[in-house]
């Protein structure tokens, strides 16, 4: 265990594969040979050994990996809190039936309250797939649910409708549910014309002011300042990445790093902000 707590959550991007091609995505891309099951387990074990409390399996979509169930089970077995961030397209009743006891939280994105708006940044039919996934999760209220929306110029006027959808869902499930609304961040592994997507700080602040104070569901507003220097990421090839601004700073193979705290202190990673953000994922905060 580290002498000083500098982090609590590590995002393990286990794949680049995904059913979606979101323009704003800042997950890893074009990594053709992700680490296998054995190496993934070693990474998970080290995540626990260096003092992390939670692992987030993400991607791409982690459900595209045929061993994701094994990785989830292993992480839970060694004492990590397990979160799964998925597009929702691949979530099935069979997967849940086998893996519910090993998952603490599932995160699902909604980009619009209608297919017309959603399809401007997601594949057509994605909203229906997420709503189906949410229905499946009603049968498993022991799993907390995070609904999240990237605010863009395409959906800024629709956010109140998505929030209403999230509020209505919370009323119909016994699960802990919260809603993250975040200002789309200008960071990507590809070339993006951010002028078509990004809303200004002024517009995002106005949205926050308009929607704050809702009683039916907890809402977190994450602006650019909150999102920057917030994440510790392990990419599918095993590299430790700490994103800063529009850059992905690489610190080498995670399994070869001897002292994670030294790296964190040398980087511009903001531990206080990270710990505060991670704490708000806890179960007692979702009710």
- Dihedral (C-alpha) 202, 244, 87, 6: value to the nearest 10 degrees? -110
Classified as helix, coil or strand, 55 is: strand
Average pLDDT value for residue range 29-47 = 96
Each domain of the chain, given as residue ranges in start order, spans 9-285
Q: Is the peptide bond before 287 cis (omega within 30 degrees of 0)?
A: no
Average pLDDT, the chain: 94
Q: What is the 3-state secondary structure (H, E, C) of 195-260?
A: HHCCCCHHHHHHHHHHHCCCCCCEEEEECHHHHCCCCCEECCCCEEEEEECCEEEEEEEHHHCCCH
Question: Which CATH class for the 9-285 domain?
Answer: alpha beta
H-only helix segments in 16-56: 37-49
Average pLDDT value for residue range 252-257 = 98
Q: Please report the pLDDT score of residue 281 as a whole number.
A: 73
pLDDT at 34 over 60: yes
pTM of the model: 0.95
pLDDT at 272 over 60: yes
Classified as helix, coil or strand, 150 is: strand
Confidence bin at 279 (pLDDT 50/70/90): confident
Average pLDDT value for residue range 231-260 = 96
pLDDT for 197-244, tens place per residue? 999 999 999 999 999 988 899 999 999 999 999 999 999 999 999 999
62 vs 12: CA distance, rounded Å: 9
Average pLDDT value for residue range 73-90 = 97
pLDDT for 166-191, tens place per residue? 999 999 999 999 999 999 999 997 88
What residues does 106 pair with on adjacent strands?
84, 145
């Amino acid at each position: 265990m580290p002498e000083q707590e500098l982090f609590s959550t590590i995002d393990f991007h286990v794949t680049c594969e995904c059913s979606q091609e979101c323009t704003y995505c800042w997950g890893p891309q074009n990594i053709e040979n992700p680490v296998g099951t054995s190496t993934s387990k070693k990474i998970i074990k080290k995540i626990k050994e260096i003092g992390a409390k939670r692992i987030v399996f993400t991607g791409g979509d982690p459900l595209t990996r045929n061993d994701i169930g094994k990785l989830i089970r292993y992480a839970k077995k060694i004492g990590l809190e397990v979160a799964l961030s998925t597009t929702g397209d691949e979530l099935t009743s069979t997967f849940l039936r086998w893996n519910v006891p090993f998952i603490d939280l599932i995160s699902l994105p909604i980009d619009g309250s209608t297919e017309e708006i959603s399809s401007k940044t997601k594949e057509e039919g994605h909203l229906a797939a997420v709503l189906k996934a949410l229905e499946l999760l009603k049968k498993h209220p022991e799993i907390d649910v995070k609904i999240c929306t990237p605010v863009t110029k395409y959906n800024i006027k629709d956010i109140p409708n998505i929030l209403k959808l999230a509020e209505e869902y919370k009323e119909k499930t016994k699960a802990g549910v919260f809603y993250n609304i975040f200002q789309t961040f200008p960071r990507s592994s590809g070339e993006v014309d951010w002028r078509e997507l990004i809303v200004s700080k002024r517009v995002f602040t106005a949205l926050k002011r308009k929607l704050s104070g809702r009683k039916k569901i907890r809402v977190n507003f994450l602006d650019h300042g909150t999102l920057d220097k917030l994440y510790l990421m392990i990419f599918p090839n095993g590299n430790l990445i700490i994103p800063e601004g529009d850059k992905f700073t690489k610190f080498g193979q995670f399994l070869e790093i001897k002292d994670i705290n030294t790296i964190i202190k040398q980087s511009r990673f903001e531990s206080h902000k990270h710990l505060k953000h991670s704490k708000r994922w806890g179960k007692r905060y979702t009710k």
